[in-house]
Structures are given as structure tokens and as C-alpha cells.
């Protein structure tokens, strides 16, 4: 979910924050029902929000380099889902290593609910009157959520493959996305997610 770096009205930003808050609460509720780790989900949310903001700022660096005072002002909008996922993955890896927990099992307790949270979060783009590609992605995220719910085996692999495909395809129609030397970063990350998903799937099958 990416909001414009231009300041929005207080009503819109309150609604945007409410939508993101609802998505976070749903994710936390799911995790608490499927894991006994007490502090991890709250730390994960904090780290993910930092990552989401960092990705957005990097994406819009031409604007923020001229307005650095706005960088920490998340209440004015501006979150990038890829940053949230990447920071969340790194934090989860470190947490699993320190606490001697299986990384994949830890991710399996998170990924089934992510597509639903992301689908809800995409409504924030509608509130901000952003690129209309938000609505097909919201629908596809919701479909991915139900697929994982219907076929719960290897949820992390399914999530990475599914969401990677969603972003790779939808990025073709986005004109407000991060581009470096004609390469859309969203599509590149989408491809990486697909590869990660298949690697996880292969690892699981090799153990059977």
C-alpha cells in the first residue's frame, strides 16, 4: 500500500489510518490464535511499519530529499507493502535464529492471514484516490487468502508464489511505481518472491 507523499486532509488520513489499523488488528488476532509467542507479533508489526515507511521514502526520494522533515510523518500517509514484508522477513529470521525456532514454521503462522490484511489495506489506496490498480490487486489478494485457507499446506510457499505473481502482473499497469533504469522494482521483487516460494516448496517436498 503506497500513499502519496503530498499531504492529505485530516479526514482522509484518519480514515486511511483506521483501515490500516483494522488490517493490523486482524493480523494480530490471527497470530495470537495460532501461536504462543507473546511479544513477537507486536515487534513484527513495529518493524514492518518501519520497513513500509522506509520503502515508501526510498520510492519517493526525489520528494523526501527536499523535504526530510516529512520522513517520520507517517500520519500523512506513505507505506510500501514490499518494505513491510522484507523488514518483517529479516526480523522473523533473526527472531527464529535467536530463539531456536524453525523459520518456515514461524512464517507459516503469519502468512495465511497476510493476503486478507493486504486486501483490506488496499482500501487505503482508494481512500487516497490513488492509481485504480488497487482494486484488482485487492480482489486478487482476497482470492489468494481463500486459496491458502482452502489448501492450508505450505502456506508460506503459496503466499510467496501467489503474491509474487499478483504483483508481477499488476505492476504492468502501474505508473506510480518505483522504477530504476526502466526496471520496475515491484516486478523484480515479485519475481524474487516467486523463486523463494518455489524454493520453500521444493525444500518441503524433499523432506517428504
Domain ranges of the chain: 10-206
Q: How far does Cα 21 stand from its chain's mean position?
A: 14
Question: Which residues, 6 or more positions from 64, have their beta carbon under 8 angstroms from its beta carbon?
Answer: 5, 57, 70, 71
Q: How far apart are the first and last CA of the chain?
A: 37
Paired residues of 183 in beta bridges: 180
Q: In the chain, where does DSSP find H-type helix?
A: 10-34, 40-59, 61-64, 81-98, 103-108, 114-121, 123-127, 134-150, 155-170, 185-206
More confident position, 205 or 156: 156
C-alpha closest to that of 4 among 50, 48, 60: 60
Res 207 pLDDT > 80? no
pTM, whole model, 2 decimals? Answer: 0.85
Confidence at residue 100, expressed as pLDDT on a 0 to 100 scale = 94
Of the pLDDT bands very low, low, confident and very high (cuts 50, 70, 90), residue 205 is confident
Confidence at residue 91, expressed as pLDDT on a 0 to 100 scale = 97
Question: In whole angstroms, what is the distance from residue 155 CA to residue 106 CA?
Answer: 11
Question: In whole angstroms, what is the distance from residue 69 CA to residue 190 CA?
Answer: 31
Confidence at residue 180, expressed as pLDDT on a 0 to 100 scale = 84
Res 5 pLDDT > 90? no
Of the pLDDT bands very low, low, confident and very high (cuts 50, 70, 90), residue 2 is very low
Confidence at residue 90, expressed as pLDDT on a 0 to 100 scale = 96
What mean pLDDT value characterizes the chain? 87
Amino acid at each position: 500500500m503506497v500513499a502519496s507523499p503530498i499531504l492529505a486532509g485530516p479526514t482522509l488520513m484518519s480514515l486511511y489510518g483506521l483501515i490500516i489499523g483494522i488490517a493490523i488488528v486482524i493480523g494480530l488476532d490471527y497470530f495470537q490464535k495460532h501461536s504462543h509467542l507473546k511479544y513477537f507479533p507486536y515487534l513484527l508489526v513495529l518493524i514492518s511499519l518501519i520497513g513500509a515507511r522506509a520503502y515508501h521514502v526510498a520510492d519517493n526520494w526525489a520528494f523526501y530529499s527536499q523535504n526530510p522533515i516529512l520522513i517520520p510523518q507517517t500520519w500523512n500517509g506513505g507505506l510500501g507493502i514490499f518494505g513491510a514484508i522484507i523488514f518483517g522477513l529479516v526480523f522473523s529470521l533473526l527472531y527464529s535464529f535467536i530463539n531456536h525456532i524453525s523459520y518456515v514454521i514461524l512464517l507459516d503462522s503469519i502468512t495465511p492471514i497476510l493476503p486478507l490484511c493486504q486486501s483490506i489495506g488496499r482500501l487505503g489506496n482508494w481512500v487516497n484516490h490513488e492509481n485504480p490498480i488497487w482494486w484488482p490487486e485487492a480482489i486478487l489478494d482476497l482470492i489468494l487468502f481463500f486459496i491458502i485457507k482452502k489448501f492450508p499446506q505450505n502456506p508460506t510457499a503459496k503466499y510467496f508464489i501467489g503474491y509474487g505473481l499478483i504483483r508481477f502482473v499488476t505492476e504492468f499497469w502501474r505508473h506510480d511505481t518505483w522504477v530504476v533504469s526502466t526496471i520496475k522494482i515491484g516486478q523484480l521483487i515479485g519475481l524474487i518472491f516467486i523463486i523463494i516460494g518455489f524454493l520453500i516448496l521444493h525444500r518441503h517436498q524433499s523432506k517428504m
